Structure 1
């Protein structure tokens, strides 16, 4: 056990030295006598990045030590599926820019559109007169048919009286 602790301390010291060397290079620039092969330098930089990003996160373990309790990650709560589904559905249905498309505005106008517009008011008046005339003709025919109907009923009654 003591041999592993000693080797770990040696590794830590070596790492500290490499970090100091890297910091000095970054601050003062690289000197020609300090240059190392690219592969070795890249390996050392990767170790530096790994060491820097390695942080203890406790997700499933509840520590007793106060210092470690600060590193404990809070328990995640499951997200509401309904909210996510609603958001996705809303995102899938884009709102229409124009609610109602008027085909008259989209299609090019015919050359006589202004004449039709001007005549439309006059045609409305004529349409009303035409409807009135049709109604009068229907009334006259109904009156004529009432007279004929009354004559037909009288003839039927006379025919019934003779057969008695």
Structure 2
């Protein structure tokens, strides 16, 4: 078993060396094709980022050294809390109370209110038809009473003529 473990380690080392060689070749090919300016830009950006991260910022510490005093961050002034509190209190004030209260909205609805609402359109159509039918009946009666009146007037006229003769 020890021999196989040793041979496995040797194979692993050989693989690592081959991978390093491949990576090196790939980097050389890329540098040749793309050119070195891109690499230089990337390196410069990385160095600039590192410098930014390394830059010392002193917020709470007051240094005695002049160079460090330049890096001291100016003290922040607290924001006015009173203005914010006033704004929140004004926003929280209740709106003026409605002077007129609609009792229909306050009263509880009857259990069949939704049924009435759904049938209301159909009832409107029926109501119109009913009104038309009633109007026709009244016209018919008026025509009938006019004929009776005409007959009565005619009968009175006939009797009056008979009396005057």
Range into which the TM-score falls when normalised by the shorter chain: 0.3 to 0.5
Larger Rg: 2
Q: TM-score, normalised by structure 1?
A: 0.40
- Structure with more of its chain in helix, by fraction: 2
Q: TM-score, normalised by structure 2?
A: 0.40
